[in-house]
């Protein structure tokens, strides 16, 4: 006879919190097991006082939030669930979820058991009850890896190699979150489609070094180009690089322009082939895969 271990819990695969350096903002990253349920949650959560913006990309639902504890008024069918508070305590982030009925199940059972949660407490949920779940997760920092020029006219594709490397180096200290292809200006030296790649990791502070060294080792081993570029950005918001990236998407850019943009914006050059031009350009388009594939005009 078929049975369900827990018929009313649809447990999220992972939940992370990436904090800004000022600790006034955070991005809550939830890796869903059920898109429909998470889409319902996003609609209601986005109406709460802490949420600045929200979006979904593949399995991931992303909430940019203010930190604090302003309280949350739950209203059936209108604002049935949300973030009651987000508080950063040293190397931990405490997130309080609240919800009514099914939203309360999501706020407790479905999220408290997610991967990488350090500890939690929750009230009874389900039926007509209001429920609350308090999750404590590690405070993480964003690390974005930009890569270009790993293939040749006959072998490979940069985006696929980069994804496979990112998936291989994923670990509790550095979680692989997003992947984006960035359409660049079609220069004569392109392999074929002239796109670079960015992958995003949510990392425990100071513990991403092993991931980066493993990433570089695999990239050097499997790249078939002598001009591979690899660049690293550590920080909450790389949007200062957008003007450079948009130029790369509209016109041919010099190698020195890439080096200047990297230096001015705190980007670390790991591999310095001519692919660095596209690698640096990819960074601010992390997690924006639907936008980054569209050519600039």
Q: Is residue 6 part of a domain?
A: no
Q: Which of 139, 158, 181 is the last residue of a domain?
A: 139
- The pLDDT of residue 296: 66
172 and 112 assigned to the same domain:
no
200 and 125 assigned to the same domain:
no
- The pLDDT of residue 121: 87
Number of domains in the chain: 2
- The pLDDT of residue 81: 86
- The pLDDT of residue 269: 97
Q: Which of 112, 139, 166 is the last residue of a domain?
A: 139
Could you list the pLDDT tens digit for every one of the 297 residues in the chain?
Answer: 999 988 888 999 999 999 999 999 999 999 999 999 999 999 999 999 999 999 999 999 999 999 998 888 877 777 888 999 999 999 999 999 988 876 776 777 889 999 999 999 887 755 666 778 899 999 999 999 999 988 766 677 899 999 999 999 999 999 999 999 999 877 655 455 578 999 999 999 999 989 999 999 999 999 998 889 999 999 999 999 999 999 998 888 899 999 999 999 999 999 999 999 999 999 999 998 888 777 765
Q: What is the 3-state secondary structure (H, E, C) of the chain?
A: CCCCCCCCCCCCCEEEEEECCCCCEEEEEEECCCHHHHHHHHHHHCCCCCEEEEEEECCEEEEEEECECCCCCCECCCECEEEEEEEEECCEEEEEEEEECHHHHHHHHHHHCCECCCEEEECCCCCCCEEEEEEEEEEEEEEEEEEECCCCCCCCCHHHHHHHHHHHHCECCEEEEEEEEEECCCCCCCCCCCEEEEEEEEECCCCCHHHHHHHHHHHHHHCCCCCCEEEEEECCCCHHHHHHHHHHCCCCCCHHHHHHHHHHCCCEEEEECCCHHHHHHHHHHCCCHHHHCCCCC
Q: Is residue 173 part of a domain?
A: yes
d(CA 251, CA 51): 37
135 and 161 assigned to the same domain:
no
Q: Is residue 2 part of a domain?
A: no
Give the up-direction half-sphere exposure of residue 184: CA atoms within 13 A in the CB hemisphere: 31
226 and 272 assigned to the same domain:
yes
CATH number, domain of 204, equals 3.30.70.2200
67 and 91 assigned to the same domain:
yes
117 and 241 assigned to the same domain:
no
Q: Is residue 9 part of a domain?
A: no
99 and 36 assigned to the same domain:
yes
Q: Which of 139, 168, 185 is the last residue of a domain?
A: 139
135 and 158 assigned to the same domain:
no
231 and 277 assigned to the same domain:
yes
Q: Is residue 3 part of a domain?
A: no
134 and 171 assigned to the same domain:
no
71 and 18 assigned to the same domain:
yes
Q: 93 lies in which domain range?
A: 14-139
186 and 224 assigned to the same domain:
yes
Q: Is residue 1 part of a domain?
A: no
């Amino acid at each position: 006879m078929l049975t369900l271990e827990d018929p009313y819990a649809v447990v999220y695969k992972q939940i992370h919190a990436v904090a800004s350096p000022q600790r006034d903002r955070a991005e809550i990253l939830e890796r869903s097991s059920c898109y429909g349920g998470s889409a319902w949650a996003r609609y209601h959560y986005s109406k709460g006082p802490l949420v600045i913006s929200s979006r979904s990309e593949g399995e991931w639902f992303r909430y940019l939030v203010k930190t604090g504890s302003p309280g949350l008024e739950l209203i059936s069918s209108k604002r049935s669930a949300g973030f009651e508070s987000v508080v950063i305590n040293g190397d931990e982030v405490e997130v309080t979820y609240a919800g009514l009925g099914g939203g309360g199940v999501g706020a407790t059972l479905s999220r408290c058991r997610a991967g990488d949660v350090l500890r939690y407490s929750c009230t009874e949920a389900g039926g007509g009850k209001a429920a609350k779940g308090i999750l404590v997760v590690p405070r993480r920092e964003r690390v974005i890896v930009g890569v270009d020029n790993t293939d040749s006219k006959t072998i490979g594709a940069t985006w696929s190699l980069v994804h496979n490397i990112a998936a291989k180096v994923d670990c509790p200290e550095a979680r692989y979150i997003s992947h984006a292809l960035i359409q660049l200006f079609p220069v004569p030296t392109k392999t074929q489609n002239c796109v670079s790649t960015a992958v995003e990791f949510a990392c425990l502070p100071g513990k991403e070094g092993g991931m980066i060294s493993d990433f570089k080792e695999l990239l050097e081993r499997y790249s078939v180009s002598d001009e591979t570029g690899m660049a690293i950005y550590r920080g909450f918001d790389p949007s200062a690089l957008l003007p450079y990236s948009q130029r790369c998407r509209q016109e041919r850019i010099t190698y020195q322009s890439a080096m200047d943009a990297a230096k001015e914006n705190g980007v670390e050059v790991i591999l310095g082939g001519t692919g660095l031009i596209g690698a640096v350009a990819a960074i601010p388009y992390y997690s924006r895969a639907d936008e980054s594939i569209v050519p600039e005009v």
